[in-house]
Amino acid sequence: MATLPEITALLGEPRFNWSDPAPWIELEQELGIEFPADFREIVDAYGSIEINRQLYLKHPAGHLLHSLGEDIRGDLELWREEDMAEFLPSPVGANPGDLMPVASATTGEAVFLCIPDNPSSPWRVVVQEFDSPAWTLYEMTFSEWLLAYLKGRDVVLCSRNFAPDGPFFEFLP
């Protein structure tokens, strides 16, 4: 599994550094899942940010405009619509095998965490290209997927186009 120091080495020092678990606990109780530790660690470190002017990560303690919980609720509703569900390999939701929407991109992709079939299995990442019916399953954790993105590897998002001088982040306004 990729580590926060590996991500920090490429993205820069985090400046959010959230330590209160209350927003996560509240959101996890509402959704009926526990997010993977690596996802929580990254989002707690960086907060609600835009990476490379492309990828949006949001924190559950964010305000209404930049709240992970608000985004997830809206995305669950969107992806449960009959004409949208056909664009994903699994239903959205909180059951084993379901997809939980956790990030989005200015270039039209939606990033999902695939809930493991059993507690000992790893979480995986699915990226759906919103402008087409294409989706890709990545047999990697969120931190591994993010590290691959930051290194410019092909994980559907095209970071090199948006960050020719290297990865960077900005807080969402």
Per-residue confidence of the chain (173 residues) as pLDDT tens digits?
779 999 999 999 999 999 999 999 999 999 999 999 999 999 999 999 999 999 999 999 977 678 999 999 999 999 998 778 788 999 999 999 999 999 999 988 999 999 999 988 999 999 998 777 789 999 999 999 999 999 988 887 665 667 788 899 999 98
In whole angstroms, what is the distance from residue 41 CA to residue 123 CA?
A: 15
Q: Alpha helix (H) ranges present in 62-137?
A: 68-80, 82-85
Give φ, ψ of 39 to 5 degrees.
Answer: -65, -50
In whole angstroms, what is the distance from residue 67 CA to residue 73 CA?
A: 10
In whole angstroms, what is the distance from residue 3 CA to residue 152 CA?
A: 17
* 3-state percent helix, strand, coil for the chain, nearest multiple of 5: 35, 20, 45
Query: Topology of domain 4-163, per CATH?
Result: SMI1/KNR4-like (3.40.1580)
Say what the pTM is.
0.94
